[in-house]
Amino acid sequence: MAVGGDDDMERDFAARLRLAPSPASPNAAAGGGGGGIAFRAPQEQFTVGDFELGKIYGVGSYSKVVRAKKKDTGNVYALKIMDKKFITKENKISYVKMERIVLDQLDHPGVIRLFFTFQDTYSLYMALESCEGGELFDQIVRKGRLSEDEARFYAAEIVDILEYLHSLGLIHRDVKPENLLLTSDGHIKIADFGSVKPTKDTPIKVLPNSTNERACTFVGTAAYVPPEVLNSAPPTFGNDLWALGCTLYQMLSGSSPFKDASEWLIFQRIIARDLKIPEYFSDDARDLIDKLLDVDPSKRPGAGPDGYVSLKKHPFFRGIDWKNIRSTRAPKLAMEANANEDEDSQDSSWLSHMGSAPVNQHVSPVGNDGASSSSEDFLEPGESVVLISKLKKINKLTNKKVQLILTDKPQLICVDPGKMVTKGNIMWSDDPSELNVQVSNSSHFRICTPKKVSSFEDAKQRAWQWKKAIEDLQRCQKN
């Protein structure tokens, strides 16, 4: 990575982000169009070296989230690390601004708290409340499917959160099991406010022009997007209620209601409301899902003139103590099959090979099992990760868990996630006849080279994302 021009890059980025504190008011950000926003979560002067970095919680489309312990206080955060160059290149600045500004003003036990932010030459950092219980998605995968009591509890907590957000005129627009995180005692917190849409009457301070009710292009995730969004209708609270219906269906059945081999086919199913509800769903669950997945967004319970009353009174929620939901005992969390005490140290050594320059420079592995010294270096200095997934590599006789990493060099690296050693690279070529990805469905894909075909299963259904990322890089290399 070129070092010259770093200061320029930092200044240029700060100007575009317009979140840099003014000298007069260290916590004020120019919201644009006059009037600054006074941040509750301050912009600090910390560096990543002030933290002990632990395991990677997850990787989003423009960030990675890492467990981080502040060395002086011992406080633990989920540190969201965003690469400035990538954010600028991918035009994600408005997502970052929106998440920062909106999260800063929210105060609900079911919403991830933002504590502070800081930045360095390469990255922006958001210190978020850490959710140690992982994603609701993982609970569904580990348990196969949830019992109706478990699903009822989680759905009720999601309803409580959506009622809060909607009362503030905010449409989340990316409600899905991956963005519903769990605390260590099993309560839900919603994350990922990058796609949030404020309505005209929101009391929340937002970016100028962000409340325009123009018809929107599709944001969110294909499987959870409502039909009206595909028909370019303006966003409404009903969008989140549809996604709640999909999430409830997924909790009870193990998979999302509209599934197919490609995004386009998924969209066709959504538009046709091609919905099959399994026989074993109770009548109350079936009825609630059917109503939440109404093609008319204004008819979904929670979106009508009586607000959330009809939703909370639905027979599926009988027995829920709405006022005390956050102190009700949560379902027991299913742990990862081979979770062990070394997880933190393994992942921190893994992180030290992630290639993001500032992380590489400052990482201090948690734990003392020497995992980092036995690991190989995966990435070269300045090389960064484009896509990374924990996948199942499907072989004739056995299936193995692997971390597949695509970097901007480009390289395709297979890592054994347990031993933190590379299992070898898949030979890169810019020529699609020598390297191509064949997708069988959203969770299965094959990477084909003249020498070898490697088959993978992605529980998070990112097969198409893998194909696109590899093809984009091939195109980039050629130009």
Ligand X SMILES: Nc1ncnc2c1ncn2[C@@H]1O[C@H](COP(=O)(O)OP(=O)(O)OP(=O)(O)O)[C@@H](O)[C@H]1O
| Pair of tokens at residue 277 | 């509800």
Q: Write the CA distances from 303 to 48, 196, 409, integer angstroms.
A: 43, 17, 48
Which stretch, 187-195, 299-307, 405-413, 469-477, contacts ligand X (CB under 6 A)? 187-195
Catalytic site includes residue 192: no
Residue 347 binds to ligand X (criterion: CB under 6 A): no
Q: Rule CB under 6 A: choose which of 43, 63, 236, 443 binds ligand X.
A: 63
Separation of alpha carbons 364 and 360, rounded Å: 9
**Minimum gap (Å) between residue 472 Cβ and ligand X:** 15
Residue 137 parent element (H or E): helix 136-143
Residue 226 binds to ligand X (criterion: CB under 6 A): no
Residue 160 binds to ligand X (criterion: CB under 6 A): no
Q: Rule CB under 6 A: choose which of 32, 42, 60, 418 binds ligand X.
A: 60
Kindly tell me which of 63 and 356 has the beta carbon lying closer to ligand X: 63
Residue 103 binds to ligand X (criterion: CB under 6 A): no
Closest CA to 136 of 49, 230, 246, 232: 246
Residue 58 binds to ligand X (criterion: CB under 6 A): yes
Separation of alpha carbons 251 and 293, rounded Å: 15
Choice among 104, 174, 347, 458 that is catalytic: 174
Kindly tell me which of 128 and 303 has the beta carbon lying closer to ligand X: 128
Count of residues near ligand X by CB under 6 A: 21
Sign of the alpha-carbon torsion through 11, 15, 21, 24: positive
Dmax over CA atoms of the chain, in Å, equals 66
Q: Rule CB under 6 A: choose which of 43, 119, 123, 130 binds ligand X.
A: 130
The number of CA neighbours under 13 Å toward the Cβ of 128 is 28
Residue 181 binds to ligand X (criterion: CB under 6 A): yes
**Minimum gap (Å) between residue 473 Cβ and ligand X:** 18
**Minimum gap (Å) between residue 78 Cβ and ligand X:** 3
Residue 194 binds to ligand X (criterion: CB under 6 A): yes
Q: Rule CB under 6 A: choose which of 19, 79, 106, 131 binds ligand X.
A: 131
| Pair of tokens at residue 41 | 């979560």
- Residue 371 class from Cβ within 10 Å (0-12 exposed, 13-18 middle, 19+ buried)? buried
| Pair of tokens at residue 228 | 């009206």
Residue 128 binds to ligand X (criterion: CB under 6 A): yes
Kindly tell me which of 59 and 420 has the beta carbon lying closer to ligand X: 59
Which stretch, 189-197, 256-264, 273-281, 285-293, contacts ligand X (CB under 6 A)? 189-197
Residue 179 binds to ligand X (criterion: CB under 6 A): yes
Helices (H), 272-364: 283-292, 309-312, 343-351, 357-362
Residue 111 binds to ligand X (criterion: CB under 6 A): no
Residue 192 binds to ligand X (criterion: CB under 6 A): yes
Separation of alpha carbons 291 and 285, rounded Å: 10
Q: Rule CB under 6 A: choose which of 80, 84, 97, 300 binds ligand X.
A: 80
Exposure string for 384-395, b = 16+ CB within 10 A, e = fewer:
bbbbbbbbbbee
Sign of the alpha-carbon torsion through 52, 57, 58, 63: negative
Q: Which spans of this chain sit near ligand X (rule: CB under 6 A)?
A: 57-61, 63, 65, 78, 80, 112, 128-131, 135, 178-179, 181, 191-192, 194
